[in-house]
Amino acid sequence: MIERVHEHIIGELGTNTRTDTIFVITAIILNLVTLGINSGLASSREDTTQTIVMFTFVALIIVVNFVAEIGLIRGRQMRKKLLNGLLKMYKDQGVEGYYDASLMGDYTIRYNLFMLTVLFTGLIAIIIPFIIR
């Protein structure tokens, strides 16, 4: 039974990683694409329609970035819980020496870096077009 639980946790960790990767990549790609579109709109002649389109894209950036940030925070928490369960299991089995508990701290730092990357690409995608305009 313990092997089934172990497999389940490993499977959950894999799903968690994939979900987080999708959040990060989607947010960064969207930020960069929107940066290009809005910069193009901003550099052309000022027009009400273009301004509305620009603000619509800004709203999209804000929503997608917040969703990505929340998703990443949840992903980090989920990974922490799963790894705690895994560590406990290893302790019970007497093999905890093979897994360094400090890895959990590294994961936290990695998630924070991902969140900062998403946040800063989002900020650049918002500000640059307004500087150009």
Q: Residue 130 CB, nearest distance to another protein (Å)? A: 3
Residue 127 contacts another protein per CB under 8 A: yes
Sign of CA dihedral 50, 56, 59, 64: negative
- Our finding on whether 126 is near another protein (CB under 8 A) is yes
User: At closest approach, how far in Å is the CB of 77 from another protein?
Assistant: 7
CB of 132 to another protein, least distance (A): 8
Where in 25-84 is the site for another protein (CB under 8 A)? 42-46, 58, 62, 65-66, 69-70, 73-74, 77
- In Å, how far from its chain's centre is CA 66? 9
By C-alpha distance, which of 63, 83, 64, 114 is closest to 13?
Answer: 83
- The four Cα atoms 81, 10, 108, 114 give a dihedral, to 10 degrees, of -130
